[in-house]
Structure 1
Amino acid sequence: MKKFKILLFTYAFSLLATSGFAQETADNKVIITGVRFAYPLVEKWIKDYTALHPSSQIVIETRTITDPQKYDLLIEAYDQDKEVKETREYISLGRYALLPVANAKSAFAKEYGEKGLNEKTYKQIFFHDIYAEKDKTLPTGYTIYTRLQKAGAPLTFAKYFGYEQQDIKGKAIAGADEHLIKALLKDETGVSYTTPGLAYDLQTRKPVEGITVIPIDLDGNGRISKEEKVLDNLDGVLTSLENEKIKNVPIEYIHFSIDKHNSNPEAKKFLLWVAANADKDLRQFGYLKPDAKRLEQEKEKLERFSAVK
């Protein structure tokens, strides 16, 4: 009987311990989803945060056609509708740019890698517009690749030039932004648009092998200067893009958001840590810094939200 009581006690203790561990794991687990081109940057933040908080369990659940059914944090690359904004707290972490790119073997890359694009040629090459003045000197042997689903990059790209996503020409590719790059690399007529983090090798800081980044008329004077043709180094490109007066480059924020009624304290802690530490990683991954005033205001709102139990 004594032995039986000892076994019973041991079993009950193990159940309590297991239950406690499971509860702790559940409380410390944070699920993140959203725009896929931001995953390398988010993975860096997760790695640094969990090094400081080993009990935290933060995972990315890859977005497919839709978001996972359950998640704590959403990272997005376009401005949400008013109705969505009313239900979530936002923190703008950095900005991304969109650059025209072409298969390095294409006739398009050979011509426009030297000539570059101004606003007029940009619009005629990438968009359906029956009212636009036609330039008969433009080449015809190229294939535009764009996203099929509604997404941050095509929405931002089209909106900047005064169009809707459905106005972008070309072959619509299912999947994420990196799939446009894969399609372009397989097609020697391929042309597309993408973020610096996908156009450049983040280690060498050079354009990805097989890709030509097309020069742009950054000052809007209708010509491509020698300085605007210098695109062989990612850091130099980012420095140019941080000039507030640049033109012909769509730029938008990436932001994390959390449900205003979310009760996951670990998600709030992680979000506050990211808000305080994101700045040092942005350039490494091809992003521009956010507006300092905007970021500070959003951090203050986030701190007040996080203080609510």
Structure 2
Amino acid sequence: MKRSKKGLLAFIILIITANFAPTKASAQDLSGSISISGAFALYPITVKWAEEFKKQHPKVKIDIQAGGAGKGITDVLSKVTDVGLVSRDLNNAELKKKAFAIAVTKDAVIPTISASSPFKAVLYKRGIKKEALNNIFITGKYKTWNTLGFTSPAPIHVYTRSDAAGAAETWAHYFGKKQEDLQGVAVFGDPGLAQAVKRDPSGIGFNNIVYVYDTKTNKPTNGVVPIPIDLNNNGKLDPNENFYGDINQLIAAVAAGKYPSPPARDLYFVTNGKPSNPIVKAFIKYILTDGQKYVSEAGYIKLTKEKLTTELAKVK
């Protein structure tokens, strides 16, 4: 009788141990590698997330390459990478190919000029109307700065993206158009576009928030500054429209819905079908939980608690 009780106790202990033993997907010894490519918009925060995740899982290798949202979606659907970084909504064709999107954070595309632009002071007093931006970037009707009310007949040098970019697609969507409808000299990547505008006092372009502001000083950097949008079209920049002074003000405006969406937008991790790779799942779960504490300091906007819950359910 005693042997039977001992045997039963040992069996119970064995079951409990098995049920509570860490799995390879959740234990500290999680090992393996994942590859990621895509949107410049998501690249900086993804690098930060990877660094922090690897502190908990040092045997995991995460390779991350920027190259634009178009590259991200192409790479993941062709199974070249495990994850595509995509800074726009997926289209029907991509969804039919089993692209599976998980929102991880949010940011915004903003119009930019050179910090040395002679038009900066006036633009910061009156802003720029959406209609004027449309006539610069889409119709091409406004070709000189005097069409915007300035005395200078200097040409407006318009810059856009050469790569298939979520930022460009989102900026075009603000006007009800697509990336191919955007006018201007095409430049590769967010950094390249920022540099082109920086060097040209007569230039105008657009960038994601993190390529305009320094997250340490919270001020515009890289020699480019945002152009405030005159949201109510009254010809002046009202106090409730003037939220470009530092990155925290702009992030708060995006989160509160004061800055329009688009060009504000969600940013996505995209997988080929629902994620099944244990390391990919663990990384995404980390991003949507502990990793969110790095979002604001990196210059991005946190998703709402409800949104985070919805996105987490996609990887369970």
Question: TM class by shorter-chain length?
Answer: 0.7 to 0.9
Does the aligned pair in 2 maintain the 1:76–1:254 contact within 8 Å? Answer: yes
Q: Secondary structure at the match of 2:119?
A: helix
Amino acid at match of 1:187: D
Would you tell me which structure has more helix in proportion to its own residues? 1
| Distance (Å, rounded) in 2 between the aligned partners of 1:58 and 1:206 | 31
Say which is worse superposed, 198-207 or 107-116, in terms of deviation.
107-116
Does the aligned pair in 1 maintain the 2:162–2:189 contact within 8 Å? Answer: no
The equivalent residue for 1:88 is 99
- Tell me if 1:63 matches 2:67: yes
Q: Secondary structure at the match of 1:191?
A: strand
Does the aligned pair in 2 maintain the 1:220–1:248 contact within 8 Å? Answer: no
Q: Compute the displacement of 1:220 (Å).
A: 5.7
Check 1:222–1:93 CA distance in 2 against 1; reply closer, same or farther (3 A cut). farther
- Tell me if 1:285 matches 2:298: yes
Amino acid at match of 2:92: K
The equivalent residue for 1:232 is 245
The equivalent residue for 1:113 is 124
The equivalent residue for 1:255 is 268
Does the aligned pair in 1 maintain the 2:138–2:181 contact within 8 Å? Answer: yes
Q: Compute the displacement of 1:73 (Å).
A: 1.1
1:127 to 138, 142, 146: 138
* TM-score normalised to structure 1 length: 0.79
The equivalent residue for 1:53 is 57
Q: Which structure's relative contact order is higher, taking Cα pairs within 8 Å and 6+ residues apart? A: 1
Amino acid at match of 2:83: L
Q: Secondary structure at the match of 1:49?
A: helix
Q: Secondary structure at the match of 1:302?
A: coil
Q: Secondary structure at the match of 1:200?
A: coil
The equivalent residue for 2:175 is 161
State the superposition RMSD in angstroms.
2.7
Check 1:143–1:71 CA distance in 2 against 1; reply closer, same or farther (3 A cut). same
2:208 to 195, 201, 211: 195
Q: State the Cα deviation string for residues 60-106 of structure 1 (Å, max 9, x = none).
A: 13437845562111111011122422413321011111111101222
Q: Secondary structure at the match of 1:80?
A: coil
Q: Compute the displacement of 1:123 (Å).
A: 1.5
Check 1:188–1:94 CA distance in 2 against 1; reply closer, same or farther (3 A cut). same
Q: Compute the displacement of 1:125 (Å).
A: 2.4
Does the aligned pair in 1 maintain the 2:85–2:269 contact within 8 Å? Answer: yes
Q: Secondary structure at the match of 1:54?
A: coil
Amino acid at match of 1:50: K
Identity across matched positions, percent:
26
Amino acid at match of 1:151: A
Say which is worse superposed, 25-34 or 90-99, in terms of deviation.
25-34
- Tell me if 1:276 matches 2:289: yes
* TM-score normalised to structure 2 length: 0.78
| Distance (Å, rounded) in 2 between the aligned partners of 1:221 and 1:288 | 28
- Tell me if 1:44 matches 2:84: no
Amino acid at match of 1:82: N
Q: Compute the displacement of 1:221 (Å).
A: 5.5
| Distance (Å, rounded) in 2 between the aligned partners of 1:227 and 1:258 | 39
Amino acid at match of 1:268: K
| Distance (Å, rounded) in 1 between the aligned partners of 2:85 and 2:313 | 19
Does the aligned pair in 1 maintain the 2:30–2:59 contact within 8 Å? Answer: no
Q: Compute the displacement of 1:260 (Å).
A: 2.2
Check 1:107–1:279 CA distance in 2 against 1; reply closer, same or farther (3 A cut). same
Check 1:236–1:74 CA distance in 2 against 1; reply closer, same or farther (3 A cut). same
Q: Compute the displacement of 1:39 (Å).
A: 1.5
Q: What are structure 1's unaligned runs of at least 5 residues? A: 1-24, 304-309
| Distance (Å, rounded) in 1 between the aligned partners of 2:182 and 2:160 | 7
| Distance (Å, rounded) in 1 between the aligned partners of 2:275 and 2:243 | 46
Q: Secondary structure at the match of 2:42?
A: helix
- Tell me if 1:99 matches 2:103: no
Q: Secondary structure at the match of 1:98?
A: strand
Structure 1: 4+ residue segments shifted above 6 A: none
Matched pairs, number: 274
Does the aligned pair in 1 maintain the 2:37–2:71 contact within 8 Å? Answer: no
- Tell me if 1:77 matches 2:91: no
